[in-house]
Structure 1
Amino acid sequence: MIFEKTVIVAFCLYLFVFVCECKYSPRYNVMELTNQLGMTAELHNVTTEDGYILKIFRIKAINGKEQENREPVLLQHGLLGSSEQFLHAKNNSLALILFNNGFDVWLGNSRGNFHSRKHVSLDPDRDKEFWFYTLDQMGQYDQPAVIDHILKTTGKQQISYIGHSQGGGSLLAMASGRPEYNQKIKIFVGLAPAAYMKHNRHPLLVISKYFADLLKDLIQFLNVYEMEAVSNSEFFSKIMQGACGEKVNYRINCRPVIDFLSDSLTSLFDYSLAPEIFTTTPAGMSFFQILHYAKMHIHGTFEKYDWGPEMNLQKYNSTVAPKYDWSKITCPTVLIYGLSDALVNHKDIKYIAKKLPNLIELYKVADDRFNHLDFLWSNNITPLLHDKVLTILNNYRS
């Protein structure tokens, strides 16, 4: 089984990287999806301290009606994701539900995905340095820049933050590495936040655990640092649509793809959403992001990326990568997990819960089949998850 999944991983990496006829299709992007839901989205460009230009979106109106004095909430996607993931579920999408309940909804995009593939001086197609980032830089630069932009734009003092997977991990990295930002977070809702990865059992990380250094050497030898976004690859887009497009039997053709991505039972997955999902997912990233999670899985700790002794000495003034200090993460936090989540194991979430000094609640989704992808695309997502998230945010309204 592991060998078969290894072959799948290798094939997917080949498609992501080497088979690319770059072509961007606007179908099912944020603007189109919000329009379908009777809303409009406003684009904001945010420049980080280290020069990355991030595109974030603010939902402005529904059915032509503006509402004043809303409290801002930022939704941040996970690894290989984009802001579209909070809109795919249509009337059950978290963005729509929060907006309909009076929140000022902002959708983030991490550096390197197809929305945020720009820099003030680096060219992502020519400069490999563009891709030299991990979760660390998202916590150090991306989230602070986005939070400050939202607060400046809205005139508020705090935001609520909802992060799925890496989107939650980057908040934890920020709160530990830049603790002054804890006071700017009214409430952090971590949807299976990916930070402590000791018990992760996904084959991608299991394989990387044994070959992390080899993968790093291979990436540098080939001079290929980007995992390509499906929306930028015409060939890969056709592959994904052939498996999960509108004219296929989702459960027969698409289920192997979903099973691999979640490494779990997919009985709750809403297959009707698949054609939309795979026009923007995977959304692109740096290979160093995967390597960072592999290193944390190997070391069994929440730490900064291990660049090797020499580079570590330059970056950290130490030959070993420093650990993040859990005690500095003081923002009010609710952690939500699924029992069948193979990517962010419930044991790891419980470990994080014990480490956080201001944990408000540790919550298990009621259905034990709930896995990592179900946080976005479950066929029963509103009663299982979104109602709970809304209750949490309502409890922290001013």
Structure 2
Amino acid sequence: MVQKWYHAVVSRLITVCFLTVLMICAIWHNFFTSHLLKRKQRIILDPRDTRAANVITPQTTGHSHMVRRRTESFSSLVPLEVDVEVDDVNNIEYDRTISRRTELKDSDFNPFSDILSAEDLKLVPNLQYYYSQYNIIIDEYEVTTKDGFILELWHLRNENEGKTNTKYPVLMLHGLLQSSGSFASSGRKSLAYYMHDSGYDVWLGNNRCGFNSKWDREKLTPNGEWDWDLDSMTRYDLEALIESVLQKKQNKFEKLTLVAHSQGTTQAFMGLVNGEEIYKNTEFRLSDKLDNLVALAPAVYPGPLLDEKYFVKFMAKHIDNRWVFGNKSFVPMMMEMRNLLAGHKIFSFLSYVMFNYLFNWNDILWDRPLRDRHFLFSPVHISVKLMQWWLSLNPLKSSFKTFAEDMFPDIKTWFPIQNETVSMDEHLHRNQHKPLPENWPKILLFTPRQDRLVDGERLINHFINHEPHSVYKIWYIDEYSHLDVLWASDVIERIGNPMLAHLRIPKPTFAS
């Protein structure tokens, strides 16, 4: 007991120092790049279009790529020339568009001014505050997992409709250290609002602990409050959220669409690729519950940034040392700062500069007036054990950083289909083959080329060389990075529209 107390005190002091140094470095980095460099230099230093990405190598089929050019429009006044190279053989679209946001950034003209001027820019850490202005109610539910964690599930509905309807359900699942408010923080320019406005029944799912950690004491003892990682989130949280949505739909639909970002995509692919092991001894199978998986910035393989940033390398080296990070909540000071400062501009600013410094993400493609709002809905509580799953260098632990190949083997087919799979050798199959593509979820991948946190090119190469092409569709977006798939000003045009155009939507069953 005394040793545990020592661990808590020492790790608290170390993480406070760690966060303080990180914040100072982030503020200096922001000041230097924003104020001491000339504007022209800042544009040159922006990593967009300079990344030495891994090469995408489709299999040789003898077919040539079909290249076409199309023009879309943000509005009747501002046409956007979209450059798209389409590879119909491998089912991938290369979005080569450069939107020139670096030039428009300081311009007085903004093609989205009508929408932005209607947005309330007051900072309130509550989605309902903003969505009530759109005549949308956000119902909040609590969902209890089988292992005793109480999750938050948010439901968007119009003020004039009841809590049940016949709309097709879409569940959105967030990334690491975020809540699913990240899908909705752009208001009328967000993917959550867009899907709701397009006639879908939108549910925002949140993983365990979140903003306010809650546990079912009949199922869980205090010793288990922080004893969980991504395996637990995949096994229990995904099942609880999906089954809850389908139950609240009164079994009108047997499946739903999962729209996931970053860590949410990791949970989804873990459940699909390794489902037989993860869900063994249960009746639940993720592949039987999804019509579609929409993966935004999919996190399946680690990217080069994990080996480049000093603070990330420090975390990886010491994450297993309980004297440094403890063994409960990961850097709890982050949540204390949020509880104290969320809703103030300084909190959103500090959150942005820290993300910018750690991961080289920037707001060039975002709507600047909405930037501070995005950071109202993060961070959230996570466990040290979850960060160990992501970063640990311990060879005895299966972490994302060192064991991704074992979890997601490149050379094996994850979604085999009878008479269509590249290799019919079952030793090269991760799962049992199925007779038709419709027996697997349709997988839509939106992979940003500027994302160095994860290796999207490696995942693309896996799909185009080892998966049946009828199972997936890929968009490879040149100028997007990890968070642009949520918050870019043109996210509806570049992700929302093509996503809805390719979803597989069943009719309601109207089960009695």
TM-score by length of 1: 0.76
1:141 aligns to what? 236
Q: Which residue of 2 aligns with 1:53?
A: 150
Residue 257 (str. 1) matches residue 354 (str. 2): yes
Partner amino acid, structure 2, of 1:390: L
Give deviations 1:234-287, integer Å, cap 9, x for gaps.
Answer: 587379832645xxxxxxx88643422542454213332232222222223122
- Counterpart of 1:187 in structure 2 is 292
| AA aligned opposite 1:121 | R
Q: How does 1:377-392 map to 2 (within 5 A)?
A: 377-392=487-502
Distance change in 2, residues 1:50/1:234 (3 Å): closer
Q: Is 2:214 the partner of 1:118?
A: yes
1:10 aligns with 18
- Matches of 1:302 and 1:239, distance apart in 2: 42
For 1:272, the equivalent position in structure 2 comes to 369
Q: Does the C-alpha gap of structure 1 residues 202 and 211 become closer, same or farther in structure 2, counting only changes over 3 Å?
A: closer
Q: Deviations over 1:142-171 (max 9, x none)?
A: 101111111111112010110000111111
Query: Residues 321-375 of structure 1, C-alpha deviation per residue, up to 9 Å, x if partnerless?
Result: xxxx85469432111101101222322331452555563212112xx22000111
The whole-number CA distance in structure 2 between the counterparts of 1:239 and 1:34 is 16
The SS at the match of 1:301 is: helix
Task: Decide whether aligned partners of structure 1 residues 262 and 14 sit closer, same or farther in structure 2, where only a CA change above 3 A counts.
Answer: closer
C-alpha contact (below 8 Å) 2:341/2:347 kept by paired residues: no
Q: 1:105 aligned to 2:209?
A: no
The change in CA–CA distance for 1:326 and 1:360 in structure 2 (over 3 A counts) is same
8 Å contact from structure 1 (residues 189, 334) kept in 2 = yes
Aligned counterpart, 1:23: none
Match of 2:332 among 228, 239, 261: 228
Question: Are 2:454 and 1:341 aligned?
Answer: no
SS in structure 1 of the partner of residue 166 of structure 2: coil
Partners of 2:289 and 2:333 in 1: how far apart? 32
The answer to whether residue 320 in structure 2 is matched with residue 216 in structure 1 is yes
Equivalent residue for 1:303?
Answer: 407
Partner residue in 2 for 1:4: none
- Structure 1 alignment gaps of length 5 or more: 1-6, 16-25, 246-252, 305-324
Number of corresponding residues: 348
- Could you say if the C-alpha distance between residues 243 and 59 of structure 1 is closer, same or farther in structure 2, counting changes exceeding 3 Å? closer
C-alpha distance in 2 between matches for 1:302 and 1:163? 22
Q: 1:86 and 1:137, CA in 2 relative to 1: closer, same or farther beyond 3 A?
A: same
Contact in 2 for aligned 1:341/1:372 (Cα 8 Å): yes
Residues 187-227 of structure 1, C-alpha deviations (whole Å, 9 max, x = no match): 11111221222x34246877656763632113577454334
Letter in 2 for 1:384: R
Find out whether 1:363 has 2:475 as its counterpart.
yes
2:448, 2:476 within 8 Å by CA — same for their partners in 1? yes
SS in 1 for 2:176: coil
Q: Tell me how large the CA RMSD over aligned residues is.
A: 3.5
Separation of aligned partners in 1, 2:377 and 2:257: 26
CA contact (8 A) 1:241 1:275 kept: yes
Q: Secondary structure at the match of 2:407?
A: coil
Query: Is 2:329–2:383's contact at 8 Å kept on the other side of the alignment?
Result: yes
Separation in 2, partners of 1:60, 1:238: 26
Distance in 2 between residues matched to 1:101 and 1:186, nearest whole Å: 18
Residue pair 1:202, 1:263 contacting (<8 A) in 2 also: no
CA contact (8 A) 1:231 1:280 kept: no
Cα distance 1:185–1:235, how it changes in 2: closer, same or farther (>3 A)?
closer
For 1:335 and 1:51, locate their aligned partners in 2 and report how far apart those are by CA, in whole Å. 32
Letter of the 2:474 counterpart: L
Query: 1:376 maps to which residue?
Result: 486
Q: Is the 8 A contact 1:165 1:191 kept in 2?
A: yes
Name the amino acid aligned to 2:237.
D
Question: Are 1:72 and 1:159, in contact at CA under 8 Å, matched by a contact in 2?
Answer: yes
Counterpart amino acid of 1:349? L
Contact 1:161–1:185 (CA under 8 A) maintained in structure 2: yes
Distance 1:95 1:211, change over 3 A: closer
Maintained 8 Å contact 2:343/2:376: no
Equivalent pair of 1:78/1:165 in contact (CA under 8 Å): yes
Q: Is the 8 A contact 2:124 2:343 kept in 1?
A: no
Distance in 2, matches of 1:239 and 1:49, equals 34
Q: Deviations over 1:84-110 (max 9, x none)?
A: 111111111111111111111100001
Instruction: Specify the structure having the higher radius of gyration (Cα).
Output: 2
Distance 2:386 2:228 in 1: 7
Distance 2:246 2:21 in 1: 38
**What's the CA shift for 1:302?**
5.2
Map 1:21-100 onto structure 2 (within 5 A): 27-61=124-158, 64-65=160-161, 68-100=165-197
TM-score (structure 2 length as normaliser): 0.60
The verdict on how the C-alpha distance between 1:73 and 1:235 changes in structure 2, with shifts beyond 3 A counting, is closer
Give, in whole Å, the separation in 1 of the partners of 2:205 and 2:326: 31
- The 8 Å contact of residues 229 and 385 in structure 2, kept in 1 or not, is answered as yes
- Which structure shows the bigger proportion of residues in helix conformation? 1
2:418 aligns to what? none
Q: Secondary structure at the match of 1:110?
A: coil
Whole-angstrom distance in 2 between the partners of 1:262 and 1:221? 21
8 Å CA contact 1:241–1:278 kept in 2: the answer is no
Asked if 2 retains the 8 angstrom alpha-carbon contact of 1:336 and 1:364, the reply is yes
Please state if 1:242 is matched with 2:250.
no
Q: Deviations over 1:162-190 (max 9, x none)?
A: 00001111111122343522011011111
**Deviation at 1:44?**
1.6
